[in-house]
Amino acid sequence: MDIKDFVDNLKRDKARGELAPHQIILLISLHKLYLENKSNVIETIDLMDVFSKTWKEHQYGFETKNCNLGMPLKVFVNRGYLEIDIKEDIKDFRSKTELKSKITEIKINQVLFQLFKNTELSNYLITKISS
């Protein structure tokens, strides 16, 4: 799948009148971890750490201060981009504590693997954080 088509098909909410950056920052974070680990399996705490760092690197480009991984993670799971193995049902995806304690493994699915093959992915995603 083409990067532009994929990003254009994301259903990004508006945060204070601007597109929410959460899903793009999640993609950047997953891509970083995939390149670093060369694995389709991501540890929850690693993803939370990279998401937070990536958020801080780019926070000048958007208004929202809600650095929460939960809802974009849920969207990616619901759309089949990621799979999560859980110990028990997650009641509140906004709770970092609940995510840490209940998710045992996060797996990147084929759709994202196709995107991750593109060497220009990170640069393109950075341009799309707020647009």
CATH of the domain at 58: 1.10.10.10
User: Mind listing the pLDDT tens digit for each residue in 67-108?
Assistant: 899 999 999 999 999 999 999 999 998 889 999 999 999 999
User: In DSSP terms, which residues pair with 107 in a beta bridge?
Assistant: 41, 83
User: In DSSP terms, which residues pair with 86 in a beta bridge?
Assistant: 103
88 belongs to a structural domain: yes
Q: Is a pLDDT exceeding 80 seen at residue 121?
A: yes
- Give the mean model confidence (pLDDT) for residues 105-121: 91
7 belongs to a structural domain: no
11 belongs to a structural domain: no
Given this model, what pLDDT does residue 27 score? Answer: 96
For residue 49, give both structure tokens.
Answer: 């750490």
Q: Look up residue 33 and give its amino acid.
A: L
13 belongs to a structural domain: no
Given this model, what pLDDT does residue 120 score? Answer: 85
- Give the mean model confidence (pLDDT) for residues 55-74: 86
The model carries a pTM of: 0.91
What string of DSSP letters covers 13-48? PEETTEE--HHHHHHHHHHHHHHHH-SSEE-HHHHH
Neighbours of 99 (CB within 10 A): 24
Given this model, what pLDDT does residue 17 score? Answer: 67
What string of DSSP letters covers 89-115? --S-TT-HHHHHHHEEEEEE-HHHHHH
What is the domain count for the chain? 1
4 belongs to a structural domain: no
- Give the mean model confidence (pLDDT) for residues 55-61: 87
9 belongs to a structural domain: no
Give 80's contacts (C-beta < 8 A, 6+ positions apart).
Answer: 109, 111
Instruction: Give the HSE-up count for residue 104: Cα atoms under 13 Å, Cβ half-sphere.
Output: 5
103 belongs to a structural domain: yes
Q: Which domain holds residue 114?
A: 20-128
1 belongs to a structural domain: no
User: Mind listing the pLDDT tens digit for each residue in 2-45?
Assistant: 888 998 888 877 656 677 889 999 999 999 999 999 899 999 99
